[in-house]
Amino acid sequence: MYGESAPQCPYDEVGTVTASKRAFVTDDQLTEALRQRAREMGGDAIINVGGAREVSGAVVSGNVVEVAHRTSLSGTVIRFRDPSCMR
């Protein structure tokens, strides 16, 4: 997985992947879900990996508003043109 920097080897973009965090799901499980989906797509790596936090709901109780968030990870799946580039 590549966050800010891209690999030096030439590659083709396969598609995008996104995984959303649900209740009782750890960050490691979220990352593994992203990797698993990339493998299913035939990808070798994921670039431009980034996270987002979206509002998924809110509850108003008197003068208090509780906001629920959902965390997600996404990135672009790539396939290396040269198999020797895979680590």
* Domain residue ranges of the chain, discontinuous segments joined by +: 11-81
Q: Which residues of 43-61 are buried (b: 16+ CB within 10 A; e: fewer)?
A: bbbbbbbeeeeeeeeeeee
CATH number of the 11-81 domain: 3.30.110.70
Sheet of strand 11-20, all strands in order from the earlier edge strand to the far edge? 11-20, 64-80, 45-61
Global pTM value: 0.76
**pLDDT tens per residue across all 87 residues of the chain:** 887 788 889 999 999 999 887 777 888 888 999 999 999 999 999 999 888 777 777 888 888 888 777 788 899 999 999 888 876
